[in-house]
Amino acid sequence: MQYKKLNTHTFALRIIRGEKIIESLKKFCAKEHISGGFFYGIGAVDEVELAHYNVENKQYSKKKFKQAFEVPNLTGSIGTCEGELIIHAHAVFSDTAMNTIGGHLVEAKVSGTAELLLTKTDPLPKRYDEETGLKLFEF
């Protein structure tokens, strides 16, 4: 990954070919001591794992895709829960026929590049919510 600090709270990131998006973001946040923030980006990938959360049974269903995709939108948040860094991302992917899929991004491997803008905030703690089964921001 390459990055440039644009100001005290904003970073431009470039995740390079072969790197994984979520894994790279976690390493970057650890290096820069980021425990709160939001990001968005675009790019191209060739391996994707998406998930969909069912609130009723509190479980994710997951599906892997191995093909060339454009990434017209990647959006997410950064927080912590019990000392663990949480990268929560959703994304849309477009295939060669311009059909799209999307959902909760478990992981994706970059095929060309991924370009992101990340804004660091104050720490954003999360806590487990019994009703939904999710780790939610605690304000």
CA atoms of 19 and 53, how far apart (whole Å)? 25
Domain 2-137 -> CATH class? alpha beta
pTM for the whole structure: 0.96
- At 4, the pLDDT band (50, 70, 90 cuts) reads very high
Strand partners, 75: 40, 90
CB 16 within 8 A of CB 112: no
CA distance 22 to 20: 6
Please write the tens of the pLDDT for every residue from 22-67. Answer: 999 999 999 999 999 999 999 999 999 999 999 999 999 999 999 9
The DSSP secondary structure of 72-131, one letter per residue, reads EEEEEEEEEETTEEEEEEEEEEE-TTS-EEEEEEEEEEEEEEEEEEEEE-S--BEEEETT
Give residue 124's pLDDT.
Answer: 98
Residue-wise pLDDT for 78-128, tens only, equals: 999 999 999 999 999 999 999 999 999 999 999 999 999 999 999 999 999
Q: Coil, strand, or helix at residue 42?
A: strand
Domain boundaries, the chain: 2-137
In angstroms, the Cα distances linking 54 to 61, 101, 107 are 8, 17, 19
| Kind of pairing between the strands at 69-81 and 100-120 | unpaired
* Distance between CA atoms of residues 109 and 68, nearest Å: 10
